[in-house]
């Protein structure tokens, strides 16, 4: 219980102190409690946090031999960091990275390391071309595609000052591989929200990762084009 006594010092206090606010009213100084501001997380944030916790729990339940397998797989993986430098990964980071992607795409958690351990482009790239057309519409043409299959693409987007690919990709978007043409209805809104509308002559880049059930994310294709 708080006790407030009016006096020369208390009468001159104003503003918040701790959990209360001193207010100098015309009649007399008074105290009122400060309203608590609650920042409610969105449903998407709750879902992302639950996926993260689920993957963490799954890792702690893995037997030691399986963790060693993930550790060995992580040593063979070269994944670019924010600066574009390719580095190896620990078994835990590889497990976390792969399974967060799989849970987001609606797949079950992989307890054993996937079969494919390379991120190098394969002969058949996941996407064949990238184009920026009038009005800032971004079109990515997929060839080949997998109608009705269990395959997804992760499309990253970024601006670039020149023809060099960036090391940081501000946004990404899942795209099902059964869609042969990825156009304005999928890529453009996310691009505009994160990067704005491309202006003529601006270099824009996309990084596309193929995600097939049971395999590590591969292959990777990095594309760059100028807006018109």
Q: What is the pLDDT of residues 31-55, one digit of tens each?
A: 666 666 666 767 777 888 888 999 9
Higher-confidence residue of 61 and 143: namely 61
Q: Which domains does the chain have, with CATH numbers?
A: 1-38 (no CATH), 43-104 (no CATH), 129-226 (2.60.40.10)
Three-state secondary structure string covering the chain? CCCCCCCCCHHHCCEEECCEEEEECCCCEEEEECCCCCCCCCHHHHHHHHHHHHHHHHHHHCCHHHHHHHHHHHHHCCEECCCCCEECCCHHHHHHHHHHHHHHCCCCCCCCCCCCCCCCCCCCCCCCEEEEEHHHEEEEECCCCCCCCCEEEEEEEEEECCCCCCCCCCEEEEEECCCCEECCCCCHHHHHHHHCCCCCCCEEEEEEEEEECCCCCCCEEEEEEECC
Greater pLDDT, 126 or 75: 75
pLDDT in tens, 14-27: 555 555 666 666 66
Q: What pLDDT shows up at residue 26? A: 60
Q: What is the pLDDT of residue 68?
A: 92
Does residue 129 register a pLDDT over 70? no
What's CA 104's distance to the chain center, in Å?
Answer: 10
* Cβ atoms of 111 and 94 closer than 8 Å: no
pLDDT tens string 60-119: 999 999 999 999 888 877 666 655 566 778 889 888 888 887 787 677 888 888 764 343
Instruction: Judge if pTM exceeds 0.85.
Output: no
Give the integer Cα–Cα distance in Å for 43 and 113. 30
């Amino acid at each position: 219980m708080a006790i407030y006594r009016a006096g020369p010092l208390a009468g001159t206090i104003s503003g918040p102190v701790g959990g209360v606010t001193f207010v100098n009213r015309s009649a007399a100084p008074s105290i009122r409690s400060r309203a608590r501001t609650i920042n409610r997380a969105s449903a998407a944030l709750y879902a992302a946090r639950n996926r993260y916790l689920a993957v963490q729990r799954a890792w702690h339940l893995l037997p030691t031999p399986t963790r060693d397998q993930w550790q060995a797989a992580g040593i063979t993986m070269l994944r670019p960091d924010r600066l574009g430098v390719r580095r190896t990964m620990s078994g835990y980071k590889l497990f976390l990275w792969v399974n967060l992607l799989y849970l987001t795409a609606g797949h079950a958690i992989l307890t054993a390391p996937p079969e494919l351990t390379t991120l190098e482009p394969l002969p058949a790239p996941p996407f064949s071309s990238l184009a920026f057309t009038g009005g800032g519409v971004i079109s990515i043409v997929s060839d080949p595609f997998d109608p009705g299959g269990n395959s997804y693409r992760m499309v990253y987007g970024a601006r670039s000052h020149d023809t060099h690919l960036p090391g940081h990709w501000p946004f990404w978007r899942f795209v099902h591989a059964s869609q042969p043409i990825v156009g304005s209805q999928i890529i453009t809104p996310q691009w505009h929200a994160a990067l704005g509308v491309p202006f003529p002559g601006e270099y824009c880049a996309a990084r596309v990762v193929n995600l097939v059930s049971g395999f590590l994310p591969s292959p990777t294709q990095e594309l760059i084009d100028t807006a018109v």
